[in-house]
Structure 1
């Protein structure tokens, strides 16, 4: 199979039939063998009924339905697990991504040998304050911390080799930083393509202030995991050891001063150095234990079940 198109969605019923017809037209005109995997992330507007109807018309339409809204990252994870195409294309269901881009994205992966191609919405039709400015801040921060030089990390239109999606773990809210996850997994041939962006035709955007805040928190997580995820003791243990040494140094100073220098009879507990030493040693011990516990957790098997599926179609 040439292409798997993975489409996560939440309450996009109005756009699904139009999107399917558009994708099918592009696939058939280019003689691609394909599958379209819709992942309904807990929609309440009848999106699943539309997906069911489309699957009855076309066996290439497949569907996954979550019991409730678990998030875009979990939806992508479920779609990636089922994707069988040599090239996997992800796109949003709101008709803001253009399926006409698919043939060029496919060629960049299949013929030019890229591991991942990320879309760049150079000209956007979103609100400047609500979405454009936060996206620019996200992208600048992601470039500086990850070393992946992309203009638009958050573009939903991306193309991957199948082996890439099978070897990255998209969870939490990490879908924004899939190129960074791919790089951390060892896939270094990452490119970018300017793609058309269209104004939303139906419904309303799901973007909110919580996504703005969560995006930066996830970026910190990505940075930490890429540098210390395999050996947390290297981070926590180092800080803990340094703090403990500082605390022990103050304690040693207080002991020597009390035994051989101090003449005023002041109690050690009345001196500020005592509290600095106590705090530093306690914090140092806690950091060291955090690193030790992190190493233990890494040795245990992590549960992969982060969402519940109620129905599947053709899968």
Structure 2
């Protein structure tokens, strides 16, 4: 049954060049972006993209007012599509939600039916909400690395930006599948956390990326990179023959200064990861997140908080004061 009114954290910009202000408001269903499904949000999360959008940074959101939150897990309340019925549990991420379509930072969301993924058997709503788009991105990295020949038992797999949400889940998945994982993190207090997720070693960034030759000592069978920039260039030149390097972030810079030598002399494969995948790929990867890719330490990765603490948590994330997954329980 649809609510008469509900609460949402909505972003506003009163003038074209004015500041973005987020505030809790009371809305009705007709205030939401259009869609065939009305979903009662059970869990949403805070991603770095959400934190930037809430401060009006990087021109992520262009039309206001907007409800942020680029992922959500919840129950269908109303459906205008025969594929879904009230009570169905769904996961939604990407397709512009939280950016140019109202997203998950509200008690209710209205989305297109084509965007909704039925909750896979083997996952609870809480687990799916904790994984969210970050967990999917991590699983997508592992999926493409293994599709390109990566298998346990060889050289280590390195994960950068290791205390972040995507990287934390990636470490957990990889270690659970028998890989030796090396974590790279600039947070000095994260060593114990990363080892508890399964990292065999933890390196500081200054012990990893740095100026080098076109090819450095081959160290890695695979890599999951959240950083980009010079870190990604180092991963490429220190990757072993036939290694698979996945890239999904640019926290260290969007420019990539490298040579083709790792590609043509060692056969290193560089794979870009865009989590806004077609639905068939989403279904396949989410099915694995519910089975053989399912992380073992989600409770350790998740920091669950009430809705009222959303603005404070986004501010801390912008200041790099968080780790793992920030999950909002609605």
Please give the TM-score of this superposition, normalised by the length of structure 1: 0.25
User: Higher strand fraction: Structure 1 or Structure 2?
Assistant: 2
Please give the TM-score of this superposition, normalised by the length of structure 2: 0.24
Q: Which is bigger in relative contact order (C-alpha 8 A, separation at least 6)? A: 1
User: Higher helix fraction: Structure 1 or Structure 2?
Assistant: 1
